[in-house]
Structure 1
Amino acid sequence: MRMHNADETCGIAGAAVVLGDWWNVLVLREIARGHVRFDALAAEIGLSRNVLTERLGRLVAHGVLRRSLYQRRPVRYEYVLTDAGRALLPLLVAMQDWGDRWILGDGSLTATADTDSAEHARVHALTDTRLPEDLQLPGTQGADVPVVSPDAAATVLFTYPGTGVDWNEEIRGVHGCTLENRLFRDAWPAFRRAGVDIRGISTQLPNEQAEFARAEDIPYPLLSDAHHQLDAALRLPTFRGAGRLRHKRLILIIDAERAVRHALFPVDDIPHAVAESLRLAEGCARGA
């Protein structure tokens, strides 16, 4: 794609040159999801090998991907995001959020979803899929923490819009984050007896989460997806509220092999969802 001379100082035009067309966007989407090898990319996108080779070459040349050798005979590479590539994740998630609301939805702003929505179908399609290896997010102490506990028979991962937020807008499904955390806190001993760990995840910053965790004596990790790594990896539903993209409330039960065993979404009855996640996680742990 050529840039018109009038656009040489325009960042939007420069980004358009890198993204090129929708194939480049889909390649980046799949790599963010953990499909980093050529055959996996070709299968997920349905792109011819020649075209995929050309698109990957462009993205490497633009510095958003780098090749990492994983096999010498024959030579095979994985394609991984560079710092510049990871910086594109919020853009991909914003594109998804816009598409969910204005193309696949009716334009309404909501922190939940209907059972006939594209978001509902996408979340429940996560069942039996595996989370990318080594997916980590910043915890309240600043250090990265694995999204899936390496020591537990199962992990309950719940996403929520945010605690301590002044919701000036009337957004359906946004309230209840403090209640949800308190209910998981109170049920924590039962989860641990079952060999199950918990991760609470929002797009709030680690220092914001740390303040809440101290005030509420939260015993499990709260992780920050402020850079939208998890959003992009799982194509999680989001909404824009109080100045940033935020997770819609959902719960995933993940086994020790990083496979999603159960998905609860939408979460409208929070006490029931917490109790149900304990029941499902206990079953998952027993089957480990």
Structure 2
Amino acid sequence: MRMHNADETCGIAQAATVLGDWWNVLVLREVARGHVRFDALAAEIGLSRKVLTERLGRLVASGVLCRSLYQRRPVRYEYLLTDAGTALIPLLVAMQDWGDRWVLGDGTLTGTADTESAEHARVHALAGTRLPDGLELPGTRGAALPPVAPDAAATVLFTYPGTGIAWGEPPIPGADGCTLENRLFREAWPDFRAAGVDVRGVSTQLVHEQAEFARAEEVPYVLLSDAAHRLAAALRLPTFRGAGRLRHKRLILVVDGERAVRHVLFPVVDIPGAVAESLRLAGSLVHR
């Protein structure tokens, strides 16, 4: 398609030359989810080998993917996000958020989800999914850490919108209660540890914001920052926009020692009940 002269200096128009193709966007979505090999990409997207080869070539030429050799005989490559590709992850998550709200939903701004919604179906389909290799997030203990504790037989991974936030009027349904949730996990921490279960909390707040909260509340478990939306993209987690940024909706994943999601709690409406249920479910994995 021929571009107008004014488009030569328009960032939107130039980005559209990379993202303006349905298949290109879906390829990037799957790479962000950890499907980085040709056969896995073809299976997830349902593309012919010819079309997928063409799209991968375009994305490599555009500088958003690079090829990494993982097998010599026969030659096989993984397709990895470059820095430019990684910078597209927030855009992919924003596209998903827009689609969930305005195409799949009725336009309502909410921090929760209806049990008949596409978000509900997508999140509950995570059961059996393994978290991608190498995924790490900045943490309150000064180092990037995986969302799942490598030395635990089970991890309870919970996402929440954020603590210490003035949501404004009217309040966003389902967005409050984050401090209560963290306090309940804090109080139950000895029971989780006694059961051999780790706990990790994730929000899109910055690390220093999480660290201030962790110090003030004496949070004993790790809080991780998904401000770059890598976890949201990897698992296609539901989000909403509040107080100026995209935020995770509240959910709980119970993950085993092999990084496979075994149980999903979403939406989380009864916070005390969900914390207790996550302990029960995670404990059952440890003592099988």
Q: How high is the TM-score relative to the length of structure 1?
A: 0.98
Aligned residue number for residue 267 of structure 1: 268
Residue 8 of structure 1 aligns to a residue whose secondary structure is: helix
For residues 93 and 238 of structure 2, the distance between their equivalents in structure 1, rounded to whole angstroms, comes to 9
Residue 255 of structure 2 aligns to a residue whose secondary structure is: strand
For residues 59 and 89 of structure 1, the distance between their equivalents in structure 2, rounded to whole angstroms, comes to 14
- Alpha-carbon offset, residue 146 of structure 1: 1.0
For residues 53 and 2 of structure 1, the distance between their equivalents in structure 2, rounded to whole angstroms, comes to 24
Say whether the 8 Å CA contact 1:3–1:17 is kept in structure 2.
Answer: no
- Alpha-carbon offset, residue 99 of structure 1: 0.3
- Alpha-carbon offset, residue 4 of structure 1: 2.6
Say whether the 8 Å CA contact 1:141–1:206 is kept in structure 2.
Answer: no
Aligned residues: CA RMSD: 0.8
Aligned residue number for residue 24 of structure 1: 24
What amino acid does structure 2 have at the position aligned with 1:254?
A: V
For residues 279 and 3 of structure 2, the distance between their equivalents in structure 1, rounded to whole angstroms, comes to 54
- Alpha-carbon offset, residue 3 of structure 1: 3.2
Aligned residue number for residue 108 of structure 2: 108
Aligned residue number for residue 216 of structure 1: 217
- Alpha-carbon offset, residue 173 of structure 1: 0.5
**Runs of 4 or more consecutive aligned structure 1 residues displaced over 6 Å after TM superposition:** none
Deviations 1:112-136 (A, max 9, x none): 0010000000000000111101211
For residues 172 and 104 of structure 2, the distance between their equivalents in structure 1, rounded to whole angstroms, comes to 18
Identity, % of aligned pairs? Answer: 81
What amino acid does structure 2 have at the position aligned with 1:173?
A: G
Say whether the 8 Å CA contact 2:141–2:222 is kept in structure 1.
Answer: no
Aligned residue number for residue 87 of structure 1: 87
Structure 1 residue runs of 5 or longer lacking an equivalent are: none
What amino acid does structure 2 have at the position aligned with 1:87?
A: A
Q: How high is the TM-score relative to the length of structure 2?
A: 0.98
Say whether the 8 Å CA contact 2:160–2:251 is kept in structure 1.
Answer: yes
Alignment of 1:149 onto 2:149: yes
Deviations 1:115-161 (A, max 9, x none): 00000000000001111012110012442011111000001000000
- Alpha-carbon offset, residue 194 of structure 1: 1.1
* Deviates further, 15-24 or 264-273: 15-24
Deviations 1:185-213 (A, max 9, x none): 01111111111111100000000000000
What amino acid does structure 2 have at the position aligned with 1:237?
A: P
Equivalent residues in 2 for 1:100-179, closer than 5 Å = 100-169=100-169, 170-179=171-180
- Alpha-carbon offset, residue 285 of structure 1: 1.4
For residues 94 and 212 of structure 1, the distance between their equivalents in structure 2, rounded to whole angstroms, comes to 26
Aligned residue number for residue 196 of structure 2: 195
For residues 32 and 64 of structure 2, the distance between their equivalents in structure 1, rounded to whole angstroms, comes to 12
Aligned residue number for residue 35 of structure 1: 35
What amino acid does structure 1 have at the position aligned with 2:280?
A: R
- Alpha-carbon offset, residue 6 of structure 1: 1.6
- Alpha-carbon offset, residue 239 of structure 1: 0.2
* Deviates further, 188-197 or 260-269: 188-197
Deviations 1:51-81 (A, max 9, x none): 1001001101111101011000000000011
What amino acid does structure 1 have at the position aligned with 2:252?
A: I
Aligned residue number for residue 15 of structure 1: 15
Aligned residue number for residue 62 of structure 1: 62
Aligned residue number for residue 97 of structure 1: 97
Say whether the 8 Å CA contact 2:205–2:227 is kept in structure 1.
Answer: yes
What amino acid does structure 2 have at the position aligned with 1:279?
A: R
What amino acid does structure 2 have at the position aligned with 1:109?
A: L
Aligned residue number for residue 186 of structure 2: 185
Residue 9 of structure 2 aligns to a residue whose secondary structure is: coil
For residues 219 and 84 of structure 1, the distance between their equivalents in structure 2, rounded to whole angstroms, comes to 36
* Equivalent pairs, count: 287
Deviations 1:23-55 (A, max 9, x none): 000000000111000000001000111110010
